[in-house]
Structure 1
Amino acid sequence: MRRLVFLMLGLFSLSVHAVTLDDLQQRFSQQPVLRAEFSQQRSVSGMDQKLNSSGILVISRNDGLWWQQEKPFALSLLLTDSRMVQTMAGQPPQTVTAQNNPQMFQFNSLLTALFHADHRALEQNFTLDFSDRGQGNWKLVLTPKTSPLNRLFKTIRLEGQTFLNNININDMQGDVTQIRFFNQRTEPKTLTDAEKQHFSS
Protein backbone atom coordinates (compact mmCIF):
# COMPACT_ATOMS: atom_id res chain seq x y z
CA MET A 1 0.00 0.00 0.00
CA ARG A 2 2.81 2.38 0.93
CA ARG A 3 4.60 1.58 -2.33
CA LEU A 4 1.40 2.36 -4.26
CA VAL A 5 1.07 5.71 -2.50
CA PHE A 6 4.67 6.65 -3.34
CA LEU A 7 4.11 5.60 -6.96
CA MET A 8 1.01 7.76 -7.23
CA LEU A 9 2.80 10.71 -5.65
CA GLY A 10 5.65 10.24 -8.10
CA LEU A 11 3.30 10.22 -11.08
CA PHE A 12 1.52 13.29 -9.75
CA SER A 13 4.84 15.07 -9.31
CA LEU A 14 5.85 14.28 -12.88
CA SER A 15 2.58 15.57 -14.27
CA VAL A 16 2.80 18.77 -12.23
CA HIS A 17 6.31 19.53 -13.44
CA ALA A 18 5.79 18.61 -17.09
CA VAL A 19 6.79 21.49 -19.35
CA THR A 20 4.30 22.80 -21.91
CA LEU A 21 4.76 25.26 -24.74
CA ASP A 22 2.54 27.75 -22.94
CA ASP A 23 4.75 27.44 -19.85
CA LEU A 24 7.79 28.08 -21.99
CA GLN A 25 6.35 31.17 -23.64
CA GLN A 26 5.31 32.57 -20.27
CA ARG A 27 8.76 31.90 -18.81
CA PHE A 28 10.55 33.61 -21.71
CA SER A 29 8.17 36.56 -21.65
CA GLN A 30 9.09 37.19 -18.02
CA GLN A 31 12.72 37.84 -18.99
CA PRO A 32 12.95 41.57 -19.87
CA VAL A 33 16.57 41.22 -21.04
CA LEU A 34 18.58 38.11 -21.84
CA ARG A 35 22.30 38.07 -22.63
CA ALA A 36 24.19 35.04 -23.92
CA GLU A 37 27.21 33.84 -25.85
CA PHE A 38 26.81 31.65 -28.91
CA SER A 39 28.82 29.30 -31.08
CA GLN A 40 27.60 28.35 -34.55
CA GLN A 41 28.69 25.50 -36.77
CA ARG A 42 27.46 25.13 -40.33
CA SER A 43 27.87 22.02 -42.46
CA VAL A 44 27.52 22.91 -46.13
CA SER A 45 26.65 20.18 -48.61
CA GLY A 46 29.67 19.40 -50.79
CA MET A 47 32.19 20.94 -48.38
CA ASP A 48 34.33 18.85 -46.05
CA GLN A 49 35.25 21.72 -43.74
CA LYS A 50 32.63 23.06 -41.37
CA LEU A 51 32.11 26.80 -40.97
CA ASN A 52 32.43 28.02 -37.38
CA SER A 53 31.53 31.37 -35.85
CA SER A 54 30.94 32.75 -32.37
CA GLY A 55 29.89 35.87 -30.55
CA ILE A 56 27.39 37.39 -28.16
CA LEU A 57 23.76 38.46 -28.25
CA VAL A 58 21.30 40.58 -26.31
CA ILE A 59 17.53 40.06 -26.45
CA SER A 60 15.34 42.83 -25.05
CA ARG A 61 11.59 42.28 -24.82
CA ASN A 62 10.96 45.96 -25.58
CA ASP A 63 13.83 46.75 -27.95
CA GLY A 64 14.57 43.67 -30.06
CA LEU A 65 17.57 41.44 -30.74
CA TRP A 66 21.22 42.45 -31.14
CA TRP A 67 23.48 39.70 -32.51
CA GLN A 68 27.23 40.35 -32.57
CA GLN A 69 29.42 37.83 -34.37
CA GLU A 70 33.01 38.25 -33.24
CA LYS A 71 34.78 35.35 -35.00
CA PRO A 72 35.89 34.65 -37.70
CA PHE A 73 35.05 38.29 -38.56
CA ALA A 74 32.96 41.05 -37.01
CA LEU A 75 29.32 41.21 -38.09
CA SER A 76 26.37 42.68 -36.20
CA LEU A 77 22.67 42.15 -36.78
CA LEU A 78 20.00 44.33 -35.19
CA LEU A 79 16.37 43.21 -35.28
CA THR A 80 13.52 45.42 -34.10
CA ASP A 81 9.80 45.58 -34.83
CA SER A 82 10.43 47.98 -37.70
CA ARG A 83 13.83 47.15 -39.19
CA MET A 84 16.67 44.72 -39.62
CA VAL A 85 20.16 46.23 -39.86
CA GLN A 86 23.27 44.23 -40.78
CA THR A 87 26.69 45.80 -40.33
CA MET A 88 30.06 44.37 -41.40
CA ALA A 89 33.41 45.98 -40.62
CA GLY A 90 34.38 48.55 -43.23
CA GLN A 91 31.02 48.49 -44.98
CA PRO A 92 27.96 50.73 -44.68
CA PRO A 93 25.00 49.23 -42.76
CA GLN A 94 22.35 47.41 -44.80
CA THR A 95 18.81 48.12 -43.62
CA VAL A 96 15.75 46.01 -44.41
CA THR A 97 12.18 47.04 -43.59
CA ALA A 98 8.78 45.48 -44.22
CA GLN A 99 8.26 48.09 -46.95
CA ASN A 100 11.45 47.62 -48.98
CA ASN A 101 11.82 43.83 -48.58
CA PRO A 102 8.75 42.12 -47.08
CA GLN A 103 10.05 38.57 -47.66
CA MET A 104 13.38 39.20 -45.93
CA PHE A 105 11.64 41.03 -43.11
CA GLN A 106 9.55 37.92 -42.52
CA PHE A 107 12.73 36.30 -41.17
CA ASN A 108 12.96 39.13 -38.67
CA SER A 109 9.60 38.13 -37.20
CA LEU A 110 10.60 34.46 -37.33
CA LEU A 111 13.77 34.99 -35.28
CA THR A 112 11.93 37.08 -32.73
CA ALA A 113 9.24 34.39 -32.38
CA LEU A 114 11.91 31.68 -31.98
CA PHE A 115 13.68 33.43 -29.15
CA HIS A 116 10.43 34.21 -27.35
CA ALA A 117 8.86 30.77 -27.98
CA ASP A 118 5.84 32.65 -29.31
CA HIS A 119 3.84 29.63 -30.45
CA ARG A 120 0.93 31.67 -31.80
CA ALA A 121 3.28 33.48 -34.18
CA LEU A 122 5.13 30.27 -35.02
CA GLU A 123 1.90 28.38 -35.75
CA GLN A 124 1.20 30.75 -38.63
CA ASN A 125 4.15 29.32 -40.55
CA PHE A 126 5.02 25.98 -38.95
CA THR A 127 3.62 22.71 -37.71
CA LEU A 128 4.78 22.49 -34.08
CA ASP A 129 5.88 19.30 -32.35
CA PHE A 130 6.66 20.06 -28.69
CA SER A 131 7.90 17.43 -26.24
CA ASP A 132 8.82 17.44 -22.57
CA ARG A 133 12.06 15.48 -22.21
CA GLY A 134 12.03 15.32 -18.41
CA GLN A 135 14.02 17.15 -15.75
CA GLY A 136 12.81 20.45 -17.17
CA ASN A 137 14.30 19.72 -20.61
CA TRP A 138 12.20 20.31 -23.70
CA LYS A 139 12.33 20.09 -27.49
CA LEU A 140 10.34 21.93 -30.14
CA VAL A 141 10.49 20.83 -33.79
CA LEU A 142 9.18 23.26 -36.39
CA THR A 143 8.20 22.01 -39.85
CA PRO A 144 7.46 24.83 -42.34
CA LYS A 145 4.01 24.82 -43.93
CA THR A 146 3.97 28.16 -45.75
CA SER A 147 5.98 29.71 -48.58
CA PRO A 148 8.81 30.70 -48.79
CA LEU A 149 9.85 28.93 -45.57
CA ASN A 150 8.83 25.48 -46.85
CA ARG A 151 11.12 26.00 -49.85
CA LEU A 152 14.07 26.90 -47.64
CA PHE A 153 13.91 24.74 -44.51
CA LYS A 154 13.14 21.10 -43.78
CA THR A 155 13.00 21.49 -40.02
CA ILE A 156 14.11 23.84 -37.26
CA ARG A 157 14.69 22.17 -33.88
CA LEU A 158 14.87 24.09 -30.61
CA GLU A 159 16.11 22.52 -27.38
CA GLY A 160 16.59 23.91 -23.92
CA GLN A 161 15.76 23.92 -20.25
CA THR A 162 15.57 27.19 -18.33
CA PHE A 163 16.75 28.96 -21.48
CA LEU A 164 16.94 28.17 -25.18
CA ASN A 165 20.21 26.23 -25.46
CA ASN A 166 20.32 24.90 -29.02
CA ILE A 167 18.91 25.64 -32.47
CA ASN A 168 19.41 23.10 -35.27
CA ILE A 169 18.41 24.14 -38.78
CA ASN A 170 18.12 21.64 -41.65
CA ASP A 171 17.58 23.35 -44.98
CA MET A 172 16.41 22.09 -48.35
CA GLN A 173 19.94 22.25 -49.81
CA GLY A 174 21.16 19.62 -47.35
CA ASP A 175 23.02 22.15 -45.19
CA VAL A 176 22.85 21.93 -41.40
CA THR A 177 23.35 24.85 -39.00
CA GLN A 178 23.83 24.20 -35.29
CA ILE A 179 23.78 27.11 -32.84
CA ARG A 180 24.60 26.64 -29.15
CA PHE A 181 23.85 29.27 -26.52
CA PHE A 182 25.62 29.41 -23.17
CA ASN A 183 26.45 31.71 -20.24
CA GLN A 184 22.90 33.08 -20.33
CA ARG A 185 22.29 35.99 -17.95
CA THR A 186 19.13 37.92 -17.07
CA GLU A 187 20.71 40.54 -14.80
CA PRO A 188 20.58 43.47 -14.91
CA LYS A 189 16.93 43.46 -15.93
CA THR A 190 17.34 46.65 -18.00
CA LEU A 191 19.74 47.47 -20.80
CA THR A 192 23.06 48.98 -19.83
CA ASP A 193 24.09 52.30 -21.41
CA ALA A 194 26.43 50.43 -23.77
CA GLU A 195 23.64 48.03 -24.82
CA LYS A 196 21.26 50.92 -25.44
CA GLN A 197 23.75 52.28 -27.97
CA HIS A 198 23.44 49.10 -30.04
CA PHE A 199 19.66 49.44 -30.28
CA SER A 200 19.71 53.17 -31.02
CA SER A 201 22.27 52.90 -33.83
Structure 2
Amino acid sequence: MLLLFFVDVCAHAQNASPDLLNNVLHQLSQHAAVRAAFTQQRQNPALTQPQTSSGQLLFVTGRGMLWQVQQPYRETLALTGSRTLRIDASGHAQTVHGDRGVSQISQMLQSMLAGQLDTVLRQFNVTAEGSAAQWTLHFTPRQSRVAQVLRAIQLDGGAFLQGIRIDMQDGTQTDIRMTDTRDAGTLSAAEKQALGLP
Protein backbone atom coordinates (compact mmCIF):
# COMPACT_ATOMS: atom_id res chain seq x y z
CA MET A 1 0.00 0.00 0.00
CA LEU A 2 1.18 3.54 0.31
CA LEU A 3 3.29 3.49 3.37
CA LEU A 4 5.46 4.47 0.49
CA PHE A 5 8.79 5.88 0.92
CA PHE A 6 9.06 3.77 4.61
CA VAL A 7 16.15 0.90 8.53
CA ASP A 8 17.02 1.23 11.50
CA VAL A 9 18.96 4.46 11.56
CA CYS A 10 22.45 4.21 12.94
CA ALA A 11 22.76 7.99 13.00
CA HIS A 12 26.50 8.53 13.01
CA ALA A 13 26.38 12.19 13.98
CA GLN A 14 30.16 12.40 14.01
CA ASN A 15 30.15 11.60 10.28
CA ALA A 16 27.52 14.19 9.40
CA SER A 17 28.76 16.61 6.78
CA PRO A 18 26.80 19.80 6.01
CA ASP A 19 28.85 20.18 2.81
CA LEU A 20 27.97 16.65 1.70
CA LEU A 21 24.29 17.20 2.48
CA ASN A 22 24.27 20.45 0.49
CA ASN A 23 26.13 18.79 -2.39
CA VAL A 24 23.67 15.89 -2.49
CA LEU A 25 20.63 18.17 -2.48
CA HIS A 26 22.16 20.39 -5.16
CA GLN A 27 22.92 17.33 -7.27
CA LEU A 28 19.38 15.96 -6.97
CA SER A 29 17.77 19.33 -7.71
CA GLN A 30 19.47 19.50 -11.11
CA HIS A 31 16.79 17.19 -12.50
CA ALA A 32 13.46 19.01 -12.84
CA ALA A 33 11.55 15.83 -13.70
CA VAL A 34 12.70 12.25 -13.13
CA ARG A 35 11.33 8.82 -14.03
CA ALA A 36 12.30 5.49 -12.51
CA ALA A 37 11.15 1.91 -12.21
CA PHE A 38 10.66 0.85 -8.60
CA THR A 39 10.32 -2.30 -6.55
CA GLN A 40 8.84 -1.92 -3.09
CA GLN A 41 9.02 -4.53 -0.35
CA ARG A 42 7.00 -3.97 2.81
CA GLN A 43 7.48 -6.08 5.93
CA ASN A 44 4.81 -6.03 8.59
CA PRO A 45 5.23 -7.88 11.91
CA ALA A 46 1.62 -9.07 11.62
CA LEU A 47 2.29 -10.82 8.29
CA THR A 48 4.42 -13.91 7.66
CA GLN A 49 5.45 -12.85 4.14
CA PRO A 50 6.62 -9.46 2.91
CA GLN A 51 4.38 -7.62 0.45
CA THR A 52 6.10 -6.78 -2.84
CA SER A 53 4.93 -4.40 -5.54
CA SER A 54 6.52 -2.76 -8.56
CA GLY A 55 5.81 -0.07 -11.09
CA GLN A 56 6.87 3.36 -12.31
CA LEU A 57 7.57 6.60 -10.46
CA LEU A 58 7.54 10.16 -11.80
CA PHE A 59 8.82 13.13 -9.78
CA VAL A 60 8.34 16.73 -10.96
CA THR A 61 10.04 19.49 -8.94
CA GLY A 62 7.52 21.83 -7.35
CA ARG A 63 4.56 19.66 -8.36
CA GLY A 64 4.90 16.31 -6.66
CA MET A 65 5.15 12.60 -7.39
CA LEU A 66 3.14 10.18 -9.48
CA TRP A 67 3.32 6.63 -8.11
CA GLN A 68 2.06 3.99 -10.58
CA VAL A 69 1.82 0.47 -9.16
CA GLN A 70 1.71 -2.13 -11.96
CA GLN A 71 2.22 -5.42 -10.07
CA PRO A 72 0.55 -7.29 -8.35
CA TYR A 73 -2.34 -4.83 -8.88
CA ARG A 74 -2.77 -1.55 -10.73
CA GLU A 75 -3.05 1.71 -8.81
CA THR A 76 -2.01 5.29 -9.49
CA LEU A 77 -1.40 7.76 -6.68
CA ALA A 78 -0.52 11.43 -7.07
CA LEU A 79 1.26 13.06 -4.11
CA THR A 80 1.12 16.82 -4.45
CA GLY A 81 2.07 19.00 -1.49
CA SER A 82 0.20 17.61 1.49
CA ARG A 83 -2.46 15.85 -0.62
CA THR A 84 -2.61 12.27 -1.84
CA LEU A 85 -4.98 11.45 -4.71
CA ARG A 86 -5.98 8.04 -6.08
CA ILE A 87 -6.52 8.24 -9.84
CA ASP A 88 -8.71 5.69 -11.62
CA ALA A 89 -8.33 4.37 -15.19
CA SER A 90 -10.52 7.17 -16.60
CA GLY A 91 -8.40 9.87 -14.95
CA HIS A 92 -10.79 10.79 -12.14
CA ALA A 93 -9.07 11.66 -8.85
CA GLN A 94 -10.25 10.91 -5.33
CA THR A 95 -8.59 12.25 -2.18
CA VAL A 96 -6.97 9.64 0.05
CA HIS A 97 -7.51 10.66 3.66
CA GLY A 98 -5.67 9.67 6.71
CA ASP A 99 -2.07 8.85 7.23
CA ARG A 100 -0.17 11.81 8.65
CA GLY A 101 3.08 9.88 8.40
CA VAL A 102 2.67 9.32 4.65
CA SER A 103 1.94 13.01 4.09
CA GLN A 104 5.00 14.05 6.12
CA ILE A 105 7.28 11.65 4.25
CA SER A 106 5.92 12.74 0.88
CA GLN A 107 6.50 16.41 1.67
CA MET A 108 10.01 15.73 2.93
CA LEU A 109 10.92 13.82 -0.25
CA GLN A 110 9.47 16.53 -2.46
CA SER A 111 11.42 19.22 -0.59
CA MET A 112 14.62 17.20 -0.65
CA LEU A 113 14.45 16.33 -4.33
CA ALA A 114 13.82 20.02 -5.04
CA GLY A 115 16.94 20.96 -3.04
CA GLN A 116 14.99 22.82 -0.33
CA LEU A 117 17.24 22.10 2.65
CA ASP A 118 15.61 24.56 5.07
CA THR A 119 12.24 22.87 4.64
CA VAL A 120 13.74 19.43 5.24
CA LEU A 121 15.64 20.54 8.36
CA ARG A 122 12.50 22.03 9.91
CA GLN A 123 10.90 18.58 9.82
CA PHE A 124 13.85 16.20 10.32
CA ASN A 125 17.24 15.80 11.94
CA VAL A 126 19.57 14.76 9.11
CA THR A 127 22.99 13.10 9.00
CA ALA A 128 25.00 12.36 5.86
CA GLU A 129 27.67 9.76 5.04
CA GLY A 130 29.73 8.91 1.97
CA SER A 131 30.55 11.08 -1.02
CA ALA A 132 28.63 12.90 -3.74
CA ALA A 133 29.13 9.84 -5.97
CA GLN A 134 27.63 7.39 -3.41
CA TRP A 135 25.87 8.81 -0.35
CA THR A 136 23.52 7.81 2.45
CA LEU A 137 21.25 10.21 4.34
CA HIS A 138 19.54 9.40 7.66
CA PHE A 139 16.40 11.25 8.77
CA THR A 140 14.67 11.23 12.16
CA PRO A 141 11.51 13.29 12.75
CA ARG A 142 11.66 16.43 14.87
CA GLN A 143 7.94 16.65 15.64
CA SER A 144 6.77 14.37 18.45
CA ARG A 145 3.45 13.53 16.80
CA VAL A 146 5.27 12.34 13.68
CA ALA A 147 7.85 10.47 15.78
CA GLN A 148 5.01 8.50 17.37
CA VAL A 149 4.38 6.95 13.94
CA LEU A 150 7.67 7.22 12.07
CA ARG A 151 10.99 6.07 13.51
CA ALA A 152 13.44 6.87 10.72
CA ILE A 153 14.07 7.17 6.99
CA GLN A 154 17.23 6.32 5.10
CA LEU A 155 17.93 7.46 1.53
CA ASP A 156 20.86 6.44 -0.65
CA GLY A 157 22.01 7.23 -4.14
CA GLY A 158 24.48 8.99 -6.41
CA ALA A 159 23.49 11.36 -9.23
CA PHE A 160 19.92 10.16 -8.64
CA LEU A 161 18.06 8.79 -5.65
CA GLN A 162 18.43 4.99 -5.69
CA GLY A 163 16.82 3.71 -2.50
CA ILE A 164 14.42 4.61 0.30
CA ARG A 165 13.99 2.65 3.51
CA ILE A 166 11.36 3.61 6.04
CA ASP A 167 11.12 2.29 9.57
CA MET A 168 7.79 2.83 11.35
CA GLN A 169 7.27 2.66 15.11
CA ASP A 170 4.91 -0.32 14.76
CA GLY A 171 7.75 -2.43 13.31
CA THR A 172 6.68 -2.05 9.67
CA GLN A 173 9.58 -1.53 7.28
CA THR A 174 9.37 -0.49 3.65
CA ASP A 175 12.29 -0.76 1.27
CA ILE A 176 12.03 0.88 -2.17
CA ARG A 177 14.72 0.38 -4.81
CA MET A 178 14.80 2.42 -8.01
CA THR A 179 16.33 1.40 -11.33
CA ASP A 180 16.51 2.92 -14.81
CA THR A 181 16.39 6.38 -13.20
CA ARG A 182 16.54 9.12 -15.83
CA ASP A 183 15.36 12.59 -16.75
CA ALA A 184 11.65 12.34 -17.47
CA GLY A 185 11.42 13.94 -20.89
CA THR A 186 7.99 15.00 -22.14
CA LEU A 187 5.08 14.30 -19.79
CA SER A 188 1.88 12.78 -21.12
CA ALA A 189 -1.44 14.64 -20.91
CA ALA A 190 -2.61 12.21 -18.19
CA GLU A 191 0.54 12.81 -16.13
CA LYS A 192 0.14 16.58 -16.40
CA GLN A 193 -3.49 16.34 -15.35
CA ALA A 194 -2.65 14.13 -12.37
CA LEU A 195 -0.03 16.58 -11.09
CA GLY A 196 -2.06 19.71 -11.86
CA LEU A 197 0.24 20.93 -14.61
CA PRO A 198 -1.01 23.13 -17.49
TM superposition score normalised by structure 1: 0.76
Distance 1:197 1:79 in 2: 13
- CA deviations 1:111-136 (Å, max 9, x no partner) are 3124445332221121111112x471
- Alignment counterpart, residue 128 of structure 1, candidates 113, 126, 129: 126
State the one-letter code of the partner of 1:41: Q
Q: Which has the higher contact order (CA 8 A, sep 6+)?
A: 2
- Please give the residue correspondences for 1:1-201 in structure 2 after superposition, counting only pairs within 5 Å: 20-81=20-81, 83-87=83-87, 93-95=93-95, 103=100, 105-116=103-114, 118-132=116-130, 134=131, 136-186=133-183, 188=185, 190-193=186-189, 195-200=191-196
Quote the Cα distance in structure 2 between the aligned partners of 1:44 and 1:101. 19
Shift of 1:21: 1.1
Q: Deviations over 1:95-116 (max 9, x none)?
A: 26xxx97957544422312444
Whether the 8 Å contact between 2:61 and 2:113 is mirrored in structure 1 is no
Instruction: Tell me, in whole angstroms, the C-alpha distance in 1 between the residues paired with 2:81 and 2:141.
Output: 22
Q: Rg: which structure is higher?
A: 1
User: For 1:46 and 1:196, how far apart are their aligned partners in 2?
Assistant: 38
Q: CA deviation at 1:46?
A: 3.0
Shift of 1:157: 0.4
53 and 130 in structure 1: CA distance in 2 versus 1, 3 angstrom threshold: same
Provide the identity percentage. Answer: 30
* C-alpha RMSD of the superposition: 2.9
Gaps of 5+ in 1: 1-18
Deviation (angstroms), 1:182: 0.7
Does structure 1 retain, via aligned residues, the 8 Å contact 2:62–2:114?
A: no
Ranges of 4+ aligned residues in structure 1 off by more than 6 Å: none
Structure 2 CA distance, aligned partners of 1:131 and 1:116? 20
Letter of the aligned partner of 2:38 in structure 1?
F
TM-score normalised by L of structure 2: 0.77
